[in-house]
Amino acid sequence: MNRFRYLQIRWLLLVVFTAFVCVGAYAQNSAIKPEPRAEDWWKTRHQSMNDRVKKGEVDMILIGDSITHGWEGDGKAVWDKFYANRKAVNLGISGDQTQHVLWRLDNGNIDGISPKLAVIMIGTNNAGSNTPTEIAEGVTAIVKKLRDKLPNMKILLLAIFPREEKPGELRAKLDTVNGLIAKLDDGKMVRFLDIGPKFLEVGGVLPKSIMPDALHPNKKGYEIWAQAIEASVAEMLGEVKKN
């Protein structure tokens, strides 16, 4: 075997090995593997959402975890004001991570409906077990699945909300995720919007008057949320013309 041929084989083996390692690393990312949860209350919540969408009349869906779920709690009055008349459905479940949302989207949450708009805010619960890149891959997988299953639906992708009373490692980690998922904005069907600064005071402080536990909004927090996305929601639902 001449030296040139030997080097060719070595280069080919290196490429194959690198690809294998990359695929293996991607496959190990729990944030992109659709997975249900075992809790009975979670199964009941999931089924109740499936039962709701089976009734049709869905123009808008909100997808997320406890922060989205909370539209039925501290955010109910604000929901009634902004979304009750818009045929909106809450697809948030407390504690969910990106992998749980992926499973739900494959198991009934969006079957048989053709919403005009999805508002997504997910990923904060992955922060304890996944890297920023992995979390971003999880969010990307959700957006891709929605685009594949509901190609005519527009997506308002929200940056993960700030958490912790003051800026720290966890908030910095989520900021990194937000920087990555911002690239999903395609200027047409997917729009990225970061309303995090709306919740913060001078110095990046997250006040208890908005998020008492430095994670979940209270009524005032939901009011800020709704007001901050209203212009985008109205436009993406086709209620107003784009300027």
Mean pLDDT of 149-173: 97
Residue 22 has pLDDT above 50, yes or no: no
Q: Has residue 4 been placed in a domain?
A: no
**Confidence (pLDDT) at 5:** 60
State the Cα–Cα distance between residues 5 and 10, nearest whole angstrom: 9
Q: Which tens digits make up the pLDDT trace of 93-138?
A: 999 999 999 999 999 999 999 999 999 999 999 999 999 999 999 9
Q: Has residue 11 been placed in a domain?
A: no
Q: Has residue 213 been placed in a domain?
A: yes
**Helix (H/G/I), strand (E/B), else coil: 207:** coil
- Which residue has tokens 């123009």? 59
The tokens describing 120, both together, are 């997504």
Q: How many domains does the chain have?
A: 1
Q: Has residue 207 been placed in a domain?
A: yes
Q: Which tens digits make up the pLDDT trace of 212-234?
A: 999 999 999 999 999 999 999 99
> Residue 166 is part of a domain; what is its CATH number?
3.40.50.1110
**Confidence (pLDDT) at 242:** 63
Q: Has residue 82 been placed in a domain?
A: yes
Contact 119, 153 (CB under 8 A): no
**Confidence (pLDDT) at 156:** 98
Please give the backbone phi and psi of residue 226, each rounded to the nearest 5 degrees, phi first: -60, -45
The tokens describing 159, both together, are 């940056």
Q: Which domain covers residue 223, as residue numbers?
A: 33-236
Q: Has residue 71 been placed in a domain?
A: yes
- Give the residue, 30 or 18, on which the prediction is more confident: 30
Tell me the CA distances in angstroms from 96 to 48, 93, 173, 180, one per residue in order: 16, 6, 18, 20
**Confidence (pLDDT) at 240:** 85
Q: Which tens digits make up the pLDDT trace of 68-91?
A: 999 999 999 999 999 999 999 999
**Confidence (pLDDT) at 130:** 98
Q: Has residue 190 been placed in a domain?
A: yes
For residue 231, the number of C-alpha atoms closer than 13 Å in the C-beta half-sphere is 5
Contact 156, 49 (CB under 8 A): no
**Confidence (pLDDT) at 243:** 59
Mean pLDDT of 31-37: 98
218 Cβ contact list (under 8 Å, min separation 6): 74, 209, 210, 211, 212
**Helix (H/G/I), strand (E/B), else coil: 120:** strand
Q: Which tens digits make up the pLDDT trace of 162-216?
A: 999 999 999 999 999 999 999 999 999 999 999 999 999 999 999 999 999 999 9
Q: Has residue 10 been placed in a domain?
A: no
- Give the residue, 59 or 24, on which the prediction is more confident: 59
pTM above 0.85, yes or no: yes
